[in-house]
Amino acid sequence: MIPGTRRRRHRHEKVTLSDVAQAAGVSAITVSRALREPEKVSPALRETILRVVEQMGYVPDMAARALASKDSGLIGVLTPGLTSYAFIAVMRGIEDRVRSTDLRIQYANPGDGRNDDGRKLRFFFSQNPAGIIYVGLQHDSALDDLLRRAPCPVVEIMDVSHAPAEMAVGIDHRLAAEAATRHLLEQGYRRIAMLGASWDNRSKRRLEGFQSVLEAEGLFDPSLVLSIDSYTSVGLGAHLLDRLLSDHPDADAAFCHSDDLALGALFECQRRGRSVPNEFGICGFNDFDYAGVAFPSLTSVRLPRYEIGYRAADMLIRATGGGRQAPTVVDLGFQLIARQSTARNAPKGPTG
């Protein structure tokens, strides 16, 4: 009753394997087997043991298990985009694939900016992971080396535009950007801007694609490439479009590095009374769920994000069993989804 006088909890003398063994009248190893390889224990014993386990509320100590078996059952997912909307679908894919196994997932954010991917990777290695899913920002040779000598299988995901250390699943971001840019050209836009948030590997690839297509037409203007190094967001999209139109009122379209930027751009156009798609075309990237629901709906590039996650986990799980194979690259492909926001001269421009 008297506050502050509560006895400390957190004391629960931990139930160990030998406790269970003793209670069940068998040796520790038999309990261990009953839990992990039930078929190697006689049915009768097995049942007894499992009952005792249940009764005593025994839970294996993962640290001890990992130490003894050199297998943590841990899949490490390492990405700077951990807290990004785009990564949610990837996580779902990974989780769904892993759910039926007894592996666990540990996410880690290698910290923004600084080149400490190496540190984080090393750290992961120190946990005897069963596998690692890695989303690289940069890709210098030191990192490549590190991945190559990883103590477990590694799948690099999202981008497949360069040879992976071992396995990779994703799409070719350069090609995706080319397709989007070409689409804008086909719709008759000429002063096309690019709105982006950060300049990681993939963004750079997209810029390359964007630039090459426009340069071929003599239409590339570097001053139409806008970015701020911060979290991508709808608000940022509005801000960038505002800047774009203030400085370059003649810009007539934007290819955005993500749909949230595109949505922000759309709102800003509406606010300025600039008709989308007739006076301004918008193409996003990622095909987030709202792209198809927006009014007008947003043209975007669909990435199979869920599938990338699912497939990566799948490859990892398979690789865990067998030995090493030669480098494997899986390109899951993208899809340009043309919608109203670039449908110039379409039946009816919804906005302006």
Partner DNA sequence: CTGTTAGCGCTTTCAT
Partner DNA sequence: ATGAAAGCGCTAACAG
Does position 321 interact with its own copies (CB under 8 A)? The reply is: no
CB 332 within 8 A of CB 308: yes
**Residue written as token pair 């001269």:** 345
Which of DNA, its own copies, none does residue 318 bind to, with CB < 5 to 8 Å depending on kind? none
37/250 with CB nearer DNA: 37
124/255 with CB nearer its own copies: 124
C-alpha 207/C-alpha 128 separation (Å) is 38
Which of its own copies, DNA, none does residue 16 bind to, with CB < 5 to 8 Å depending on kind? DNA
Q: What share of the chain is helix, strand, coil (3-state, %, to 5)?
A: 45, 15, 40
Residue 70's φ and ψ, nearest 5 degrees, are 55, 35
CB 308 within 8 A of CB 145: no
Binding residue for DNA, selected from 22, 23, 56, 65, defined by CB under 7 A? 65
Angstrom distances, CA of residue 163 to CA of 263, 296, 299 = 34, 39, 30
127/275 with CB nearer DNA: 127
Query: Taking CB under 8 A as the criterion, which residues in 74-133 touch its own copies?
Result: 82-85, 88-89, 91-92, 95, 99, 104-109, 111, 122-123, 125-128
Element (H, E) at 175: helix 173-186
C-alpha 301/C-alpha 342 separation (Å) is 13
Does position 142 interact with DNA (CB under 7 A)? The reply is: no
Running DSSP on this structure, what letter comes out for residue 162?
A: S
Residue type, 224: L
Does position 33 interact with DNA (CB under 7 A)? The reply is: yes
Binding residue for its own copies, selected from 28, 45, 48, 61, defined by CB under 8 A? 61
Does position 182 interact with its own copies (CB under 8 A)? The reply is: no
C-alpha 302/C-alpha 284 separation (Å) is 9
44/326 with CB nearer DNA: 44
Is 73 in a helix, a strand, or coil? coil
**Given the rule CB under 8 A, which residues bind its own copies?**
3-4, 6, 8-10, 12, 14, 57, 59-64, 66-67, 72, 82-85, 88-89, 91-92, 95, 99, 104-109, 111, 122-123, 125-128, 148-152, 233-235, 237-238, 260, 263-264, 267, 270-271, 289-290, 292-295, 323-326, 350
Q: Could you list the residues that contact DNA (CB under 7 A)?
A: 14, 16-18, 26-30, 32-33, 35-36, 39-42, 44-46, 58, 60-61, 64-65, 67-71
